[in-house]
Structure 1
Amino acid sequence: MFRFITRRTLGAVVTLLIIAACTFFLFFAVPADPARLACGKVCPPELLEQARHNLGLDQPLFVQFLTWVGGIFLGRDYEGLGYCSAPCLGFSFVNKAPVLDTILDRMPLTISLTLGAAVVFLFFGVATGIVAALKQGKALDKIASVSSLIGASLQIYFIGTLALYFLVYKNHILRQPGYVPFTENPLNWAAGLMLPWVVLAIIFTANYTRMTRSTMVEQLTEDYVRTARAKGMANRSVVMRFALRGTLITIVTILGVDLGTLIGGAIITEQTFGLQGIGQLSIRAVWSSDLPMLMATVLVAAGAIVVFNIIVDVLYAVIDPRVRLS
């Protein structure tokens, strides 16, 4: 296990370095003069040259990349802006502050939004999929299939707008979405994110229902399931100990990708409900051409997906004893 995790971690580092290189050359090297973006629209020539020197743009392109990557691990001194301690992802062109500080300030909201929604859509999606598989061809199966198809066809901005109007503004059933740190008030934390959780869950529950149902139907026809039933094992034990365990492989695989993507920024959800998370941060970075912030959010999203993929690989061996990590 330790050797496997070590290899996967080294592979993840190489992957992130490749992503960092692609990100740097796409976002930092393509614009004609990033120094002008950092200096502002009205920038005298002497200040423009100073900004170019401070950013290291007077160095060869490959040297600029090595300096940027080195700053992530060792920190970097930005003349005129200050010292950025490792891991340093640069200084924002907009607020002139370390990019990492801004990201860490927004990260708790994004994590709360992601994990809360994941609990909801996993519970309802897996439970509904199991019921649909056990009642294959019957009314409950058909209702679950039709509902999941409708749910998967809907868009977050459509459901979110309707939910805001009917549940918040008109009937006042739920409070206005917002973020309160969990450590300050757990009840207000949950109340402020309840509506985004529900809207996200509607979309993702549909996908997990269909996925769980189809995989469970296949698992129920496997030889080891039929053998367990032939030995007189109760149906509930057969489903929970054997069929569901085989189904979890598929669920965990998709869940790892979904969690990594949401941690990287649930852009549409945050935009719909006015939440200031990583997704909103990336949008504002695009609008303001804040290249260091944009590069950092891309790396955070990529890093989240890579980390969750490693976790998924380790969970394979925990869920299914037939899987060996070598």
Structure 2
Amino acid sequence: MIVYIARRLLLAISVLFATIVLTFGLFFTGPAKDGVAYQICGTKCTNQKVHDINHSLGLDKPVVEQFGTYVKGLVAGRDITNDGQVTGHCDAPCLGWSYVQSQSVTDQVKQVMPVTFAIVFGGMFIYIPLGLLLGVVCGRNRGSPLDRFLVGASQLISATPYYAIALLLNLYLIFTWKVLPATGYTPLTESPGTWFKGFIAIWVIFGLFASMTYVRYVRAFMINTLSSDFVRTARSKGISERTVVWRHALRATIAPYLTLIGVEVALQLSGSIFTEQVFNVRGIGRLGLDAISTNDLPVIAGTVLVGATFIVLGNLLVDLLYVAVDPTVKLT
């Protein structure tokens, strides 16, 4: 088990390092290396002015040296200098410095991350059990009117863009019918009740939509599991159908379901742009979107690296949980 975990950790670290190299190469070398200078003096900046700005910020140093400074900032933090004078400090893990906001990217990410965490993990409490329950019911009652209705509804909802459904439900359930409270973000430390109330509608709408995307997957897993030899053996021993379905077949179904959930949660943490935009809350997705509109390359690069980290950690967690849920998986 220890060897298995060590291998997975080494693989995760190697993927993260490759992501850091690619992110640095994409945003801070080649045609993008002058992006910070153009942020400061505008698109009409002369070549000499661009050169002067890059020299003052140390952006004209060899690529290897700049990369070493970038990696050092991720591990130990670094000072931000201009013409040799320290103008700011970026604590570890330093994701870069926004010259547009005059603030470290790490601080900006910390400010918005609680919103993204609240959206994703709050919605999980709705769509994970609901998607699993509906999928098991469909698989257990294959071909029934209930199965056809749920599968048809899931196909229709999944085929519709999320932002369209979220916008319609937002308008009707919150503003027109006032079934759900208005959305908004209040720090949890200031008022837990207001914080919870501001996310109720987001969790319900996001959770309902996300659960529909898993119904057909769980249904297919359940149908395949119910035709397995171990299920037929359990039935032949006289075990009740409820026990066969909910204790034996469900455990085998949860393993692949966890894989889907783990990857999806990691993607959601990297930026729930549509959810944040529709419900007017600012998380990591809105931070990245705003950075694109202002050409703030350090912030864009920082959000890319944060998103990649979540995806790698999500896959690592799925690998470990898969072994715990499915004992047939070998530790290799």
Q: Same fold (TM over 0.5)?
A: yes
Paired position in structure 2 for 1:33? 34
Task: Identify which of 192, 196, 199 aligns with 2:202.
Answer: 196
Structure 1 contact 265–279 (Cα < 8 Å) conserved? yes
Take 1:146 and 1:312, find their aligned partners in 2: how far apart are those partners?
29
Paired position in structure 1 for 2:65? 63
Paired position in structure 2 for 1:145? 151
Take 1:82 and 1:271, find their aligned partners in 2: how far apart are those partners?
31
Cα displacement string for residues 148-176 of structure 1 (whole angstroms, at most 9, x for unaligned residues): 11111122221122122212222222222
Paired position in structure 1 for 2:291? 285
Paired position in structure 2 for 1:107? 113
Cα displacement string for residues 229-282 of structure 1 (whole angstroms, at most 9, x for unaligned residues): 111112121112211111111110010111000110101111111110000000
**Percent of aligned pairs with the same amino acid:** 37
What are the equivalent positions in structure 2 for 1:227-306 lying under 5 Å apart? 227-306=233-312
Q: Secondary structure of the residue that 2:79 maps to in structure 1? A: strand
What are the equivalent positions in structure 2 for 1:63-142 lying under 5 Å apart? 63-80=65-82, 81-142=87-148
Give 5+ residue unaligned stretches, structure 2: none
Paired position in structure 1 for 2:5? 5
Q: What is the aligned length?
A: 326
What are the equivalent positions in structure 2 for 1:164-203 lying under 5 Å apart? 164-203=170-209
Take 2:234 and 2:56, find their aligned partners in 1: how far apart are those partners?
70
Q: Secondary structure of the residue that 2:103 maps to in structure 1? A: coil
Deviation at 1:40, TM superposition (A): 3.4
Task: Identify which of 315, 324, 331 aligns with 1:325.
Answer: 331
Q: Secondary structure of the residue that 1:297 maps to in structure 2? A: helix
Give 5+ residue unaligned stretches, structure 1: none
- Aligned-pair RMSD on alpha carbons? 1.9
Q: Is 1:53–2:41 an aligned residue pair?
A: no
Take 2:15 and 2:247, find their aligned partners in 1: how far apart are those partners?
36
Deviation at 1:47, TM superposition (A): 7.3
Take 2:38 and 2:180, find their aligned partners in 1: how far apart are those partners?
42
Go from structure 1 to structure 2 and tell me whether the alpha carbon gap of 1:54 and 1:127 turns closer, same or farther (over 3 Å shift): farther
Structure 1 contact 126–209 (Cα < 8 Å) conserved? yes
Deviation at 1:198, TM superposition (A): 2.4
Take 2:295 and 2:267, find their aligned partners in 1: how far apart are those partners?
23
Q: Secondary structure of the residue that 2:216 maps to in structure 1? A: helix
Cα displacement string for residues 127-147 of structure 1 (whole angstroms, at most 9, x for unaligned residues): 111111111111111111111
What TM-score do the two structures reach when normalised by structure 2? Answer: 0.92
Take 1:299 and 1:310, find their aligned partners in 2: how far apart are those partners?
16
Structure 2 contact 40–100 (Cα < 8 Å) conserved? no
